[in-house]
Amino acid sequence: MPQLEAVIGLEVHAQMNTRSKMFCPCDNDAFGKAPNTTVCPVCMGHPGTLPAPNAEAIQKALVASLALNCTIQRENHFDRKHYFYPDLPAGFQISQYDFPLAKAGMVHFSVVDASGKAIGGERECRITRLHMENDAGKLTHHGNKTLCDFNRAGTPLMEIVTEPDLRSAQEAVAFAQELRRILIAVGASEADMFKGMMRFDASISLREKGTQKLNPRSEIKNLNSFKALEKALTYETKRLTKLWEESSGPLPNDITVGWMDEEEKTRLLRDKETAMDYRYFPEPDIPPLVFSEKEIAKTRSALPTLPQELRKQYAGLGLTDAQVLQLTDVPQLRALFDVVREKTGDSKRAVALVLTQLLGFLNAHGKALGDAPAPEALLELVTKIDEGTISANAGKDVLEKMVASGKNPSAIIEEEGMQQISDDTAIEELVAKAIEANPQAVESYTSGKGAALGAIVGWVMKETKGQADPKKVNDLLLKKLSQASSES
Ligand SMILES: [Zn+2]
């Protein structure tokens, strides 16, 4: 039995986060809306309507293409792709066939372990093409009835096709995750997997290691999560390996399979597939798109820092790999981290505040990241701690209350009377009281048991409900006790 390797390529559909749909002014955000309410005669495919391309969608697809290092085809056009399906009311999809927006890109990515550490070196996956098209509606099946919601019909999509450069299920997932990061970073898609904004078809074939031949492949349709992508490819790799062993070779012809999430196996959809004839022809109602070098250069120069570069920047701050990934993956966390780090110059403190305390409190209160305080509010909290208005310990309570109530730090400190006692006279009085109330601890301390000091400081902190400045208490207590011992 020769050693086999998997040859995997992906076809990714990502919805663009535009205000309106690809070819009509309908609202592109159908989330939570009643079925068939964000529709119009254009996206419902009524005869006699005319599509008008969405400039925002084209710009976003252009930005994404450049971020994927693709070559923009300065002249490209839309085509009609004909097929019959109940969620496709026009009987054709407006897509791009022989002249897509972009070709020949490249994505660098790493496979990481659970701690965020890269396994092996950096990998590369070539991008064959990126083109624009409109999404179809959504069918839901209830017993023997099927319902159709056209809200999604007309949503702008990017179809991104890779070369078969991926060698394992893990590599395919790592690539798809990096692709998602890039699309989010450039603002082309929210790529929210739960809302089906990013979907995959994966092609897999096997070959003998060391050969370059591409054997007939199995195409796995409709994978809607990274987990499904990984499980389906792992399953299909095993299945094809077993078939290879039984028949001493690869699949005789291309096949199409579906992934069944619940049973965790693939199911044959089409065997001996001949290429479907979609009768593509140039969309007669939309003129070709023409980009100037100047337009492309302008868009390229406005690209934001991409995830790979961002990770390099954050890796230089002395954080763990997992922390770097967390911050570079979630722009909202990054914004919070950045304001604290810029103010304090202390990455470790910023990490503790944002990734440990804040995330912990959000989790404990069942809140989403969207409920996190604004960067300004977090900055205010840090200032209150650094100015000595509240202790670092009280700062934790304030942060928790900020998460729970959504109020800003000053309001919470005011309402709860959490201001720190840092007035020298007040603390001196407290220390005097503490010495009086803890004769045993004082005696232990003066007889050389240094640890007893903590008990006396603790008494003051308890008396003041943590509002005394512990450093000042400690300093004044030491002063007082050394005075007392020199007097005796
Ligand atoms: Zn519409």
CATH numbers and ranges of domains, the chain: 4-295 (no CATH), 330-416 (no CATH), 424-487 (1.10.10.410)
The CA 105 to ligand 1 mean position distance, Å, reads: 32
- How confident is the model at residue 398, as a pLDDT? 87
**pLDDT-wise least confident of 56-60, 161-165, 479-483:** 479-483
> Is 8 within 8 Å of 204 (Cβ atoms)?
yes
- How confident is the model at residue 422, as a pLDDT? 65
Q: pLDDT by residue (tens digit) across 438-450?
A: 888 888 888 888 7
Q: pLDDT by residue (tens digit) across 396-441?
A: 888 888 888 888 888 888 777 777 666 677 778 888 888 888 888 8
**Does 487 score more than 70 pLDDT?**
no
- How confident is the model at residue 472, as a pLDDT? 80
**Does 371 score more than 80 pLDDT?**
yes
The CA 454 to ligand 1 mean position distance, Å, reads: 70
SS3 content of the chain, % helix, strand, coil (to 5): 40, 20, 35
The CA 40 to ligand 1 mean position distance, Å, reads: 4
CA distance linking residue 236 with residue 416, whole number of Å:
60
The CA 18 to ligand 1 mean position distance, Å, reads: 13
The CA 422 to ligand 1 mean position distance, Å, reads: 64
> Is 169 within 8 Å of 38 (Cβ atoms)?
no
- How confident is the model at residue 80, as a pLDDT? 94
Write the DSSP string, 432-485: HHHHHH-HHHHHHHHTT-TTHHHHHHHHHHHHTTT-B-HHHHHHHHHHHHHHHH
Q: pLDDT by residue (tens digit) across 4-40?
A: 999 999 999 999 999 999 999 999 998 889 999 999 9
The CA 45 to ligand 1 mean position distance, Å, reads: 9
Q: pLDDT by residue (tens digit) across 289-313?
A: 999 999 999 999 999 989 988 988 8
Q: pLDDT by residue (tens digit) across 230-259?
A: 999 999 999 999 999 888 788 888 888 889
Around 297, how many Cα atoms within 13 Å sit in the side-chain half-sphere?
A: 3
- How confident is the model at residue 267, as a pLDDT? 87
The CA 25 to ligand 1 mean position distance, Å, reads: 6
- How confident is the model at residue 19, as a pLDDT? 94
- How confident is the model at residue 433, as a pLDDT? 85
Token digits of residue 72: 């923009």
Q: How far is CA 56 from the centre of its chain?
A: 22
The CA 37 to ligand 1 mean position distance, Å, reads: 10
**Mean pLDDT, rounded, of the chain:** 89
CA distance linking residue 295 with residue 291, whole number of Å:
6
**Does 102 score more than 80 pLDDT?**
yes
pTM of the model: 0.78
The CA 289 to ligand 1 mean position distance, Å, reads: 21
- How confident is the model at residue 274, as a pLDDT? 64
The CA 63 to ligand 1 mean position distance, Å, reads: 24
Instruction: Show the CA angle centred on residue 277, arms to residues 271 and 282, nearest 5°.
Output: 150
- How confident is the model at residue 28, as a pLDDT? 93
- What counts of helices (H) and strands (E) characterise the chain? 16, 16
The CA 190 to ligand 1 mean position distance, Å, reads: 21
**Does 488 score more than 60 pLDDT?**
no
Q: pLDDT by residue (tens digit) across 152-201?
A: 999 999 999 999 999 999 999 999 999 999 999 899 998 888 888 999 99
Average pLDDT score over residue span 64-78: 95
Which residue pairs from 142-147 have beta carbons closer than 8 angstroms and sit at least 24 positions apart in sequence? 146/86, 147/35
pLDDT band at 42 (very low <50, low <70, confident <90, very high): very high
Picking from 161, 257, 263, 159, the residue whose alpha carbon sits closest to that of residue 205 is: 257
Average pLDDT score over residue span 89-111: 93
Token digits of residue 335: 């914004």
Average pLDDT score over residue span 82-105: 92
